[in-house]
Amino acid sequence: MQFEPREYQLKIAEKASKANTLVVLPTGLGKTLIAAMVAKKRLEKHPETKILILAPTRPLAAQHKETFEKFLNQEVFLITGKVNLEKRKEMYKVAKIISATPQVILNDLERKIFDLSDFSLVVFDEAHRAVKDYAYVPIAKKYYKTSRYSLILGLTASPGSSRERIDEICDNLFIKQIEIRTEKDLDVKKYVKPVKFEWVYVDLTDDLKRIREELLGIEKEIIQSLKERGVISKKLTKKELINLHKKLVETYKQTKNGSLFGLISKLSILLKIEHILELLETQGMEALRKYFEKLKKSNKKFDKVLMNNEKIRRISLILSLSKEKEHPKVFKLVELIKQILKKNENAKIIVFANYRDTVKKLNEILRNEGIKSDILIGQARKGKGGLTQKEQIEKIKRFANLEFNVLCGTSITEEGLDIPQVDYTIFYEPVPSEIRSIQRRGRTGRTHPGTVIFLITKKTRDEAYYWAAFHKEKKMKGILFDLKNRKTLKKTLFDWLKV
């Protein structure tokens, strides 16, 4: 493969060849090629050894197989859960380079049909996943313990915004140094095309505003009650509510303390209200109706208590009388895309949404408006339909060939897949995660200038989510640059010998 390495890729690959490294680089700036360069150096230095590339999804592992084969001009074996056990055993015997999903590798390590003693490099793509009990963690531990020449390379566009999370990733992958670049670094800047940012605001409709007021009223009453009981001192985030609910449920199971049951009931209802508010603010009237129908049919005690609430009954009445179906964002999205295609009929546009149902709905509406559109969602799960790996790759190829202008996608579209350069990235909803926000934005501005558009519903969690991701990203960069400057290589004599 003819490849002229960029200045920053050469610098990073050189450093990553000498010590366990976490590479933090925006999407589209060639993290995989850096990994291939390091792999080439390792095989030159230790020709008797092997290379393992890990990626969290089958399509991504297949993509890496293709890239490494082209760059190294060697066969790369693709190993996923789709490959049967006997065939995997044979592949492990002959493979020099393996691209794989982590769970199947972990399972085979535990079965003792595979070991990492002969490997001189393991690449952990999307390294921000190396936390808690994700398969990357035990694999790294087994590798570090067993390989004579162990070298670890972690790749990510963003490891997260908290010092604790970044430290956890570094500890779990035995990271000794961090290499971070942003679009503003001098050795990167010349390769990055300008990206324009636009913020498009919409208002909730009158009916949605009325429902929201009723829901906020219920929320306020419950929060006040919990404060009076000394359970909370302030309004909690959804994550904090879930953790508190779990804690109280566990305590109740152990103590059978009847007074806790009322608190658990209130927290359960509060979580339902949070979910309804999120549906209202981001998905609209039709999603609300479906959810209320589900609650009405439910036999769960907490659901019945909620549906008997006076304010909830008023909401049910508004839902039955309102003629609204779609969220006001839908009409704005159609308008925006039509304007874009009027200026450039060959424009490539990605629309990111959080829910599969939303993606399917948006795709249907765009098609009904005469816009060439398709969807990219994950594989089937929990009885819900999805796309196979083959179908995902086929859709990406068709999009690259401009068989359709708009690709509506869920989080599968964010992480690593080789989606072609797009002209416009549209956030149907902002996300509070800096990791996901960075990955989404990275689809634009790779080879030519592009535009990122945020669709934001005024005075809703859309605004809160946008600013949460913004501040988390800023914080993350500060922590990483600080760590890069301060992190020292703490090596034992054994570490030196291994490299």
Q: Model confidence over 372-404: pLDDT tens digits?
A: 999 988 776 665 678 877 888 888 889 989 999
pLDDT for the residue numbered 491: 42
The topology under which CATH files domain 206-321 is phosphoenolpyruvate carboxylase, domain 3 (1.20.1320)
Amino acid identity, position 105:
I
Rg (CA), the chain: 25
Give me the chain's average pLDDT, please.
Answer: 87
pLDDT for the residue numbered 300: 87
Residue range 85-119, pLDDT digits in tens: 999 999 999 999 999 999 999 999 999 999 999 99
Q: Fold match between 7-191+480-498 and 206-321?
A: no
Give the phi and the psi of residue 53 in degrees, each rounded to 5: -115, 125
pLDDT for the residue numbered 463: 86
Q: Give the global pTM.
A: 0.72
Which CATH superfamily is 195-203+328-459 part of?
A: P-loop containing nucleotide triphosphate hydrolases (3.40.50.300)
Query: Comparing 493 with 73, which gets the higher pLDDT?
Result: 73
Of all residues in the chain, what percent carry a pLDDT higher than 90? 56
The angle subtended at Cα 113 by Cα 108 and Cα 116, nearest 5°, is 75
| pLDDT beyond 90 at 495 | no
> How far apart (Å, rounded) are the C-alpha atoms in residues 29 and 9?
9
pLDDT for the residue numbered 435: 58
| pLDDT beyond 70 at 2 | no
- Give CB contacts under 8 A, 24+ apart, made by 203-209: 203/328, 203/457, 203/458, 204/280, 204/281, 204/328, 204/457, 204/458, 204/459, 204/460, 205/285, 205/324, 205/328, 207/285, 207/318, 207/322, 207/324, 208/280, 208/284, 208/285, 208/324, 208/327
Residue range 428-479, pLDDT digits in tens: 987 766 556 666 566 565 567 889 898 999 988 888 888 777 777 777 777 7
The band of 15, judged by pLDDT with boundaries at 50, 70 and 90, is very high
pLDDT for the residue numbered 123: 98
Question: Of the CATH numbers 3.40.50.720, 3.90.1150.10, 3.90.320.10, 3.40.50.300, which one belongs to the domain with range 7-191+480-498?
Answer: 3.40.50.300
| pLDDT beyond 50 at 496 | no
Domain boundaries defined on the chain: 7-191+480-498, 195-203+328-459, 206-321
The band of 351, judged by pLDDT with boundaries at 50, 70 and 90, is very high
Residue range 214-266, pLDDT digits in tens: 999 999 999 999 999 888 888 888 889 999 999 999 998 888 888 888 899 89
pLDDT for the residue numbered 429: 82
pLDDT for the residue numbered 144: 93
